[in-house]
Homo-oligomer: A and B are copies of this chain.
Amino acid sequence: MSPRRVTLADVAKAAGVSRTTASLVLSGRGRELRISQDVEQRVLRAADELRYRPNIVSVGLRTGTTRTIGFVSDTVATSRLAGDMIKGALEAARDRGFMLFIGETEGDSELERLLLQAMHDRQVDGLVLASMFTRTIKVPEDITNAPAVLLNALPEQPTPLPAVLPDEVEAGRTAARALLEAGHRDGVYLIGAGPGMRDVPPESVAAVERLVGIREAFGDAGVAVAGGRTCADWQPEYGLAATRELLRTARPRALICFNDRIAMGAYQALDDVGLKVPDDVSVVSFDDHPIASWIRPKLTTVALPYYELGRKAVDVLFTEIGRDHAGPDGQGEVHRVPMPLCSRESIAPPPAAAPAG
């Protein structure tokens, strides 16, 4: 079918030189090894005319580098949430002429082992180990064969692997400040976790860190959080239930929902009792899920910077690949990516506190 691929030998023949010379010229080492201008031009022209492209498989075999990185996740690739993470990784890789292998473990460590093996069999130059939601993971042992980076995950035990994570603590502060700046000082309730540091779902790094940031910002402002409700799962129905429960005993002025889906449930609960967002109750949330701009009024939320996380992970991976992989270097660095506030329509000054502007 397709005409055979053009190889270095073809180029060499067309230029009337040896494969060695052609290789030297094309790898830019012609000068260094004293190839004449004339020959250099001939080779370059031949390569161009024949549309020569080096076979990366061959290069991979000889040099050990395949210009390929593996992106292994529990279920990120196919999570509707974090596709942007892949996108960021994809583009960062593309910028450097690298391709991405994608693999999913679904949390199954046997699958993970197999997947990492398959990637090593294909001589990937590096690995990104990603998690759909921020959490601590057990770093598989086979990892150390190639440079690797944790994405949206922290190692259970100390490892030399660097990690890239959203700056959740600062996000917590950001959310809190958004309310404080609107003038809220009373009746601020949390939905999804809190108010105490122990009221968090297990395994959720995000919950803990967001809560830390929230408490810190309010603390600094001398404001006390009025209360909070945990949710078994951060889904709309649980947000709805938690908010309903809250409304039975309290009259909130503002809600900090721990994610947008919870906020969606909260909207429904508020609507049920005739409370208007943001006039009666302000709502701020986290993630910037697409629904945040679909529900009305549009939700003000602190965005998870998926795209940047993906990019950053690959960037860090490349410096890791570049590094001399000499001795054990202790603890991997943790990179925090800022979470920007998406100001929309769900925050207003509290009714009582709306004097002359």
Contact = CB atoms under 8 A, between A and B. Distances in A.
Interface of A: 1-2, 5, 53-58, 60-61, 66, 68, 71, 75, 77-81, 83-84, 86-87, 90, 94, 97, 99-104, 117-123, 144-146, 236, 261, 264, 268, 290-291, 294, 296, 325-326
A77 B91 CA distance: 12
Nearest to A1: B325
B121 A53 contact: yes
A153 to B, nearest CB: 19
A176 to B, nearest CB: 26
A94 B108 CA distance: 14
Given A60-B57, A144-B1, A104 B87 contact: yes
A121 to B, nearest CB: 4
B103 A118 contact: no
Nearest to A60: B57
A206 B69 CA distance: 36
A268 B291 CA distance: 14
Contact of A90 (B58, B78, B81, B94): B78
A280 B17 CA distance: 82
Contacts of A99: 101, 103, 118-119, 122
Contact of A77 (B90, B97, B296): B90
Contacts of A291: 291, 294
Given A61-B58, A104-B90, A145 B2 contact: yes
A57 to B, nearest CB: 4
A61 B53 contact: no
Contacts of A121: 53-56
List the 8 closest pairs (A to B, CB-CB), nearest first: A78-B87, A80-B80, A78-B83, A2-B145, A57-B60, A56-B121, A236-B294, A102-B102
A57 B53 CA distance: 17
19 contacts: A1-B144, A1-B145, A53-B117, A53-B120, A55-B121, A57-B60, A57-B61, A68-B101, A68-B122, A77-B86, A77-B90, A78-B83, A78-B86, A80-B81, A86-B102, A90-B102, A94-B103, A268-B296, A291-B291
Contacts of A146: 2
Given A78-B87, A87-B104, 7 more contacts: A1-B145, A2-B146, A57-B61, A57-B66, A77-B102, A79-B83, A80-B290
A61 to B, nearest CB: 5
A2 B326 CA distance: 10
Which one of A53, A66, A71, A121 has the greatest number of beta carbons of chain B within 10 Å? A121
A81 B121 CA distance: 32
Contact of A100 (B81, B84, B101, B325): B101
A102 B100 contact: yes
Nearest to A327: B1
Contacts of A55: 61, 121, 123
